A and B are shown apart, each in its own frame.
Chain A
Amino acid sequence: MKIFSESHKTVFVVDHCPYMAESCRQHVEFDMLVKNRTQGIIPLAPISKSLWTCSVESSMEYCRIMYDIFPFKKLVNFIVSDSGAHVLNSWTQEDQNLQELMAALAAVGPPNPRADPECCSILHGLVAAVETLCKITEYQHEARTLLMENAERVGNRGRIICITNAKSDSHVRMLEDCVQETIHEHNKLAANSDHLMQIQKCELVLIHTYPVGEDSLVSDRPKKELSPVLTSEVHSVRAGRHLATKLNILVQQHFDLASTTITNIPMKPTFSVFDQEEQHANTSANYDVELLHHKDAHVDFLKSGDTHLGGSSREGPFKETITLKWCTPRTNNIELHYCTGAYRISPVDVNSRPSSCLTNFLLNDPRYKIDGSLEIPLERAKDQLEKHTRYWPMIISQTTIFNMQAVVPLASVIVKESLTEEDVLNCQKTIYNLVDMERKNDPLPISTVGTRGKGPKRDEQYRIMWNELETLVRAHINNSEKHQRVLECLMACRSKPPEEEERKKRGRKREDKEDKSEKAVKDYEQEKPWQDSERLKGILERGKEELAEAEIIKDSPDSPEPPNKKPLVEMDETPQVEKSKGPVSLLSLWSNRINTANSRKHQEFAGRLNSVNNRAELYQHLKEENGMETTENGKASRQ
């Protein structure tokens, strides 16, 4: 696939000279509704379109299909030529829509049949077309900027579709020569410019159109290479619907389109998008709708060898269409289907009743857009995921707090980037509530799986719960000062005598491993461990006064840690598995648990934290300064 193929830039050059005001000599009856009226009314005379009207509506149809299927990166520049060239729009994406073009065409109006034919020529338009092809599009500019030194990879090709009324084959040849010469000149200009690009390849599609019933003065000619840069083809087409059909075929060729006809579409009266009064509104029938889309959509059908090709080939050999039968979708069908491709479509007959009914059924109500903020939303999303996963137990039986409805108000807000005063208040309420539960000796949802007997005692259960809650809150204390306040409240409420903490710290060995959540917590704490503990003391003092009534929670180092109280988020820490290899003594089981439990309660000594097999290397910084590897302590650099 190439973005900058000939189809990236299409220039329409439509003749606006006096002879284009001539009738196409194909009549349209427009006064059809005379039945049921008093006899004797003569319908108004049929009217006919001018060559200009035929040219404009056919080229608009070309653009309509192109914009439907390629809303981006396929651009049209519309030029009208009479005594000069009128460029109706630019390559910018904002200019690429039917409404803009229609408004610009209305401003130009139909050709003036009384203008001096000598002053008017299609040549003005063709010269302008070459000029405009040299102009860089925003996509080309973007790609060139992005590619930097490889900017020359960005191609500049284009197509000129010229609709005119030529005098003869030699007149056509003169037009071709003019285009070729102009390209040559403009490429020289472009070579010395930053804003222009040389044309590498240009496809000229000359369409000679003439009134129905006249003889063509110009002969058809297939695509021919006039120079390495320019190819040209000539189509001699009668005006009216013949011209429209030709442009429909061309748009399919130019943009690799194919046709699919959806058959047997049921249309109930409720589908009707028109007034109820329309003649057929109350009949229910099955309809067929033909759609155009990129050819690739058919590749799989063709490969499967199961082709339904050649359905309705009423409009020539190019009009091959694949037939699909409509399948009414089941409602509430939210399944993922394996979809190898989705292709934009454009109905061939856009405002026919069946087409409108189908597209209106498929189109949903307009939804609204998301506000863009300065920060990239996706980065904010990643940031949120990071916060939410700082402490995330993966197994239900390995968490207490996430099994407790009472914790939800705190757990749901603590992960936020910032807290409101109300959030803090709710967190505090949650903590007080837990204290209350503890005083009332309410049971906790602690798993007893794998333990013999009844599991841990009630006060031990609460200790586990408080530990876990602390881990969760600690993971977020650096989010904001308000998070800090939640921790302060928590520490005050689950009060332990500081001396006891100190005593424990001294007497304990520490396990080598630590779980991820703790590691994460440490990352957030490391910056100010000292201030923290200083402040903590103060808070504890205050807390004691505040909660004089609340029962002091005693931490009992002698009671065993429950077996399920494993580090929680440890999927890639393997020592757990090793334990299960052979028989383990009760003593080692017990001491392991106690060690695990205790290791959670204090800031680990840095040396031990980085130790390998309980041996810490001294003077590591010397090594680092010498640029040597120091990451051999088993902590994989996964983060």
Chain B
Amino acid sequence: MLSVCILTGNTGILSIMPTVVVMDVSLSMTRPVSVEGSEEYQRKHLAAHGLTMLFEHMATNYKLEFTALVVFSSLWELMVPFTRDYNTLQEALSNMDDYDKTCLESALVGVCNIVQQEWGGAIPCQVVLVTDGCLGIGRGSLRHSLATHNQRSESNRFPLPFPFPSKLYIMCMANLEELQSTDSLECLERLIDLNNGEGQIFTIDGPLCLKNVQSMFGKLIDLAYTPFHAVLKCGHLTADVQVFPRPEPFVVDEEIDPIPKVINTDLEIVGFIDIADISSPPVLSRHLVLPIALNKEGDEVGTGITDDNEDENSANQIAGKIPNFCVLLHGSLKVEGMVAIVQLGPEWHGMLYSQADSKKKSNLMMSLFEPGPEPLPWLGKMAQLGPISDAKENPYGEDDNKSPFPLQPKNKRSYAQNVTVWIKPSGLQTDVQKILRNARKLPEKTQTFYKELNRLRKAALAFGFLDLLKGVADMLERECTLLPDTAHPDAAFQLTHAAQQLQLASTGTSEYAAYDHNITPLHTDFSGSSTERM
């Protein structure tokens, strides 16, 4: 079974769900917020407060993730390129100047460029847009952008939907009432719609204050930045792991099964298979699998089997020496060149494998297959995969020199079954010529001659193309008359016989026109010894 695989070039990536924070630094963000009995805050201070909370959360739970900070007004600037250093991000928050008006479109174009340059088009990315809901005025304002949305050419395409898998979270430093008093909310909702509905708008509940901003960012964290914890199991061996980024719920069929499927928190390994056998299968998403205990020790996760020959004194090292199944698994998969098949839910599987991040470092990764009993046709039904020892003889051979995969599909695809297509004249001509060429080499090519003859006969009968049968019969008769004196006497017999048989089939009525009937070589006194074997 053939398929086109879409492979993306960017393979050596550790972080797989980067975040871009896009901060509005237009003048309107400096509007004061009245806070009872305390110093005066501006909206940008509230925004910075919320982002601080997000950065702190990520520094603790998402330390492997890359985040970039973009500020924008009528222009945009990449303040902090993608980094894991949350201190730098934090510092940048306190060093922001105030600029002119809001111009969202150019900022979103900027985000496209930054992300595509760094990650290409296949890595999912979360965009956190922080704004006050004032969408600018005149050219470059969001209203203007949306109004002209239908009049775009390919060269000035609107940046949404983002040209990479994305979520757009809009954090409004304003409450719902304020946004609804103008058409701001509507415009922002249009933005999410334009991003194919991928994203959400957050507004402040109640008065604008630090506490309510916190609760708004809390909701964002719950939605988009909650670590996914699971237990990885293999028989009696288990390990607590974080799966990162969070696996997204998946809708199998919007009509008959509209409820999104979520993966189990118990990830059970059901077996192991060679990388060569699983090939490079299509996956919904891929994730880092991080042992939770080790993660606390720093970001040296999953670097291989723990080496025991070191000094035992340091407490850190002892903690690192607690044998962890993830380490064992990762090391084994790497050494053996295999992947582990893992059950994610009912009729839903994925694979665990080692992926090199750099020359020295590699990681335990998990990829999710599409749910269903047979996500990878060349392996057959998942439930039918079993232990090698159950097979009567080792399917990989005694010397490991063969493989039971890929499985042959029940019905061969057209390209594997020698179908006959005569839509272009050349198709028909090639088939006729093949017969003729073999006819001239009779009796050596008797078998091939009849094989090709029968193929043409079957197709002609199916297509109701009886004239062709008659034509080829005439042609063979002519060939018979043109045989040189040196020709083998059997050739004439076979040609005449074949022509007769075709002639009979071309009437379309006799038993000779039955589809399953095959013209067989005429048995002559000469045919016994000289016939080629197929």
Contact = CB atoms under 8 A, between A and B. Distances in A.
Contact of B471 (A30, A60, A154, A355): A30
A577 to B, nearest CB: 6
Interface in A225-251: 241, 244
Contacts of A214: none
B117 to A, nearest CB: 12
Nearest to A349: B424
A102 B417 CA distance: 13
Given A2-B254, A303-B164, A569-B323, A450 B312 contact: yes
Interface stretch (A191-199, A386-394, A525-533, A592-600): A386-394
B475 interface: yes
A351 B240 CA distance: 54
A147 B2 CA distance: 33
Interface string A567-603: 0011110001100110000000000000000000000
B236 A386 contact: yes
A275 interface: yes
B404 interface: yes
A616 interface: no
Interface string B265-308: 00011110011101011110010000000000000000000101
Interface in A92-122: 96-99, 101-103, 105-111
A421 interface: no
Interface string B413-436: 111111111111111111011101
B323 A68 contact: no
A338 B122 CA distance: 10
A102 B464 contact: no
Given A103-B462, A350-B421, A351-B420, A370 B384 contact: yes
Interface in B374-426: 380, 382-387, 389-392, 395, 402-409, 411, 413-426
Interface stretch (A42-50, A130-138, A620-628): A42-50
Contacts of B271: 378, 381-382, 385
Interface residues of A, number: 131
Interface stretch (B6-14, B39-47, B521-529): B6-14
B437 A106 contact: no
A30 B428 contact: yes
A385 B235 contact: yes
A102 B513 CA distance: 13
Nearest to B413: A68
A154 B235 contact: no
Interface string A508-549: 000000001100100000000000000000000000000000
B482 A275 contact: no
Interface in A1-55: 1-4, 28-33, 37-38, 41, 44, 47-50, 52-53
A336 B280 contact: yes
B515 interface: yes
Interface stretch (B26-34, B200-208, B314-322): B314-322
B7 A338 contact: yes
Nearest to B379: A370
Interface in A294-353: 297, 300, 303-305, 334-347, 349-352
B231 interface: yes
B423 A58 contact: yes
Given A367-B407, A378-B270, A638-B238, A52 B464 contact: yes
A434 B379 CA distance: 43
Contacts of A369: 380, 404, 407-408
Contacts of A368: 395, 404, 408
A293 interface: yes
Interface in B507-528: 508, 513-516
A327 B4 CA distance: 13
A338 B121 CA distance: 13
Interface stretch (A173-181, A356-364, A487-495): A356-364
Contacts of B260: none
B466 interface: yes
Contact of A304 (B121, B278, B415, B467): B121
A67 B416 contact: no
Contact of A102 (B408, B437, B459): B459
B280 to A, nearest CB: 4
A304 B6 CA distance: 13
A377 B387 contact: yes
Given A106-B461, A244-B423, A29 B429 contact: yes
Contacts of A64: 414, 419, 421
B236 to A, nearest CB: 4
Contacts of B283: 338-340
A45 B389 CA distance: 65
B197 interface: no
Contacts of A384: 387, 389
Contacts of A274: 434
Contacts of A572: 238, 240
B239 interface: yes
Contact of B253 (A2, A30, A293, A343): A2
A201 B433 CA distance: 47
Contacts of A334: 274-276, 337
B527 to A, nearest CB: 21
B463 to A, nearest CB: 5
Given A44-B475, A370-B404, A385-B271, A28 B425 contact: yes
Contacts of A397: 308
Contacts of B417: 98-99
Contact of A338 (B276, B280, B416): B280
B355 interface: yes
A339 B276 CA distance: 14
B471 A31 contact: yes
B478 interface: yes
B255 A155 contact: yes
A447 B2 CA distance: 52
A368 B393 CA distance: 12
Nearest to A574: B322
B262 interface: no
B269 A395 contact: no
Contact of B416 (A300, A359, A389): A359
Contacts of B437: 33, 275, 277
A185 B430 CA distance: 50
B324 interface: yes
Interface string B308-336: 11001001001101111100100000000
Contact of A336 (B1, B339, B415, B422): B339
Contact of B421 (A57, A103, A106, A576): A57
A143 interface: yes
B416 A106 contact: no
A32 B429 contact: yes
Most buried by A among B312, B322, B382, B433: B322
Contacts of A4: 255-256
A450 to B, nearest CB: 5
Contacts of A53: 463-465
B458 interface: yes
A369 B315 CA distance: 53
B234 A385 contact: yes
B270 A385 contact: yes
A466 B514 CA distance: 76
B72 interface: no
Contacts of B436: 33
Given A98-B419, A241-B424, A381-B270, A570 B235 contact: no
A37 B321 CA distance: 85
A339 B355 contact: no
Given A41-B478, A44-B471, A147-B257, 20 more contacts: A47-B467, A61-B421, A71-B413, A106-B513, A106-B515, A143-B256, A303-B164, A336-B278, A337-B5, A343-B6, A344-B1, A350-B421, A351-B420, A367-B407, A377-B390, A389-B234, A450-B312, A571-B238, A576-B322, A638-B231
Give me the 3 closest cross-chain CB pairs, A-B, nearest first.
A377-B386, A389-B235, A110-B464
5 contacts: A33-B433, A61-B421, A338-B280, A362-B2, A395-B323
